[in-house]
Structure 1
Amino acid sequence: MPDKDASTPRIFILRHGETEWSKSGQYTGKTDMPLTPHGEAQVKGTAQQVYGLGKLIDPAKVAKIWLSPRKRAIKTYELLSGRNDGYEISESLAEWDYGDYEGRLTKDIRALRKDRGLDKEREWDIWSDGCEGGESSAEVTARIDTLLKEIRTFHANRMHSSEPKDIILVAHGHLTRAFAKRFLGYELSFPLSLMMEPGGVGILSYQHHNIDEPALLMGIGFPLQE
């Protein structure tokens, strides 16, 4: 039996398209930035390639859709699907609360922390150190795990069912990577390097049709388009 086939539930996790701050590298948590025209084009390009009947993300196979409450994530789903309904908003998918670091660049955050007498032995790392005035890695973990528990219960009940079982999540740069780490069972501080481009989509699933074997689906064969 293959590790993965069309009957195994999948989680399609998407990062919203480009904003002015994602373009410049500024940390964007609660600030409700709109997509740039290029960001909208990124999502439309993704949709053209992977979303639709018979495509990788087949809406006929999607059972649940959860979105971050930020407008940039909601707009991304609307551009992807052509719909403005049928989804749930989840605070579990909101971007990391950057607190004092909102709108800053990494180099500026590290300089600020050194001015405050922090990080004398190593440079700041959000996965271990969290954000002053914002969230710690433990707090981000707790809210992700709340949604993960719901997803795992849903998938466990449908693992061997013919009913729709795929899930779409739309979130943010740090949050998508944090979610993938937690899905795989890693602490956020675990040195697993992951990347997610604006408008990009990643896939999480399970090996051997087993809810206790979560996996990153590294490669997939795309269906032939007629």
Structure 2
Amino acid sequence: MAVRAVVIEADGGSRGNPGPAGYGAVVRDPASGEVLVERSEAIGTATNNVAEYRGLIAGLEAAAELGAAEVEARMDSKLVVEQMCGRWQIKHPGLRPLAARAAVLVDRFDAVRFSWIPRERNRHADALANAAMDAAAGKPAKRAVEVEPPREVAARAATRNAGTDPATIKPSWEPRPSFTATRLILVRHGETEWTVQHRYAGRADVPLSDQGRAQARATAERVAELAPSVAAVVSSPLSRCTATAEAIADALGGLPVRRQDDWVECDFGDWDGKTFAEVREGWPGELDAWLASTRIAPPGGESFATVAERVDRAVAALREAYPGETVVVVSHVSPIKLALRDALAAGDAFLHRLYLDAAGISVLDMWPDGGVAVRSVNDTAHLAGR
């Protein structure tokens, strides 16, 4: 029978690092603590980290087989937790395929939260892993001793739309009053030299080209037509955005431009400034892993999952600060795509299928009850002939 939410406790280790290795994973009911599934396996000679990832993968596979929609994965491996959250780089090449495999599994669930727990709270999975290590070393396997199960309920992953659960919003074709919606006019910055050269442009502060400045002026005129009354103009702190935002603010009567770090582009790390072809040639494995999952970061960079967290925070802040008003946001490809993905309740494949032109405009409305309507995507009619 399918379950809505589960808790995974996973562990792994080796006798010698590397040495005889094994993993253990336990899947529990979050309310009662009842054990739903146990998994363990001896995996031959491997490192602690490889075994820990294998334990996580086994737990995620078991949760998927149970039909779970929401997962809290608990591990006493700080490294695995931080890497899966996108906060730490995956430097060891042997861990990247395992992290990518885990990330693909994570994407099968509606929500996944990773939590670090001390080893004493992970004794069941630890005992399973130790039994598997004994088996890998040729010792008789011992049955893991059950410990008192944790009774705390797994926290539900944060949902979009400032705390409103999208599942509770009833679909409707009926028109909503536009004056109650917070409207975001999302503008990608104008063209830069790197745009034309098809280079990854993350945190490098590349200025607008002459063409980009002309696009910014045209975009400013179009925004003024769309929204003569604007409460605020918000911008990524990078100059290609602030220059575009300042042109728009001037067209709206000299509004101040508010710089907001959460709208900055994804950090592409070692790929920043490289052409798409150079990245494909120099980092083929890393690029495939990155394209396969939003939880994988470029070497030295930031995952789309991490970008999505700050974009969610930024959207919620604007919704709270400007109820029923219009806000212009000047940002970059990745943050705008992620905002539109969530507004449309789309999957991650959306990120690779949507194209956003330089100086393109997208519009979305958000109502107090959590309803969302995407009015337009990548409007570029104002750039005709430019």
- Taking structure 2 as the reference length, what is the TM-score of the superposition? 0.47
Report the equivalent of 1:224.
none
Unaligned stretches of 5+ residues in structure 2: 1-173, 380-386
Separation in 2 of the partners of 1:16 and 1:190? 23
Report the equivalent of 2:193.
20
Tell me the secondary structure at the aligned position of residue 187 of structure 2: strand
Match of 2:236 among 47, 68, 72: 68
Report the equivalent of 1:39.
212
Q: CA deviation at 1:46?
A: 1.9
Unaligned stretches of 5+ residues in structure 1: 160-164, 221-226
Report the equivalent of 1:111.
281
**1:181 aligns to 2:341 (yes or no):** yes
Report the equivalent of 1:125.
291
Q: CA deviation at 1:79?
A: 1.6
Q: CA deviation at 1:48?
A: 2.5
Q: CA deviation at 1:78?
A: 1.2
Separation in 2 of the partners of 1:28 and 1:142? 20
Quickly say closer, same or farther: Cα 1:139–1:49, change in 2 above 3 A.
closer
Separation in 1 of the partners of 2:311 and 2:321? 16
Tell me the secondary structure at the aligned position of residue 31 of structure 1: coil
Q: CA deviation at 1:19?
A: 0.4
Residue identity matched to 2:232? K
Residue identity matched to 1:168? V
Q: CA deviation at 1:3?
A: 4.1
Q: CA deviation at 1:18?
A: 0.5
Separation in 1 of the partners of 2:332 and 2:293? 15
How many aligned residue pairs are there?
A: 201
Report the equivalent of 2:202.
29
Moved more, 74-83 or 22-31: 74-83
**1:134 aligns to 2:339 (yes or no):** no
Tell me the secondary structure at the aligned position of residue 152 of structure 1: helix
Report the equivalent of 2:264.
94
**1:195 aligns to 2:335 (yes or no):** no
Residue identity matched to 2:374? L
Q: Where in structure 1 do 4 or more consecutive aligned residues deviate above 6 Å?
A: none
Separation in 1 of the partners of 2:279 and 2:177? 42
- Taking structure 1 as the reference length, what is the TM-score of the superposition? 0.77
Tell me the secondary structure at the aligned position of residue 191 of structure 1: helix
**1:212 aligns to 2:370 (yes or no):** yes
Match of 1:79 among 234, 247, 251: 247
Contact 1:25 1:105 in 2 (8 A): yes
Separation in 2 of the partners of 1:29 and 1:7? 35
Deviations 1:167-222, CA, capped at 9 Å, x for gaps: 110011222212222344456x243532221112110113xx454111211389xx
Tell me the secondary structure at the aligned position of residue 217 of structure 1: strand
Contact 1:18 1:199 in 2 (8 A): yes
Quickly say closer, same or farther: Cα 1:127–1:89, change in 2 above 3 A.
farther
Contact 2:245 2:257 in 1 (8 A): no
Cα RMSD over matched residues?
A: 2.6
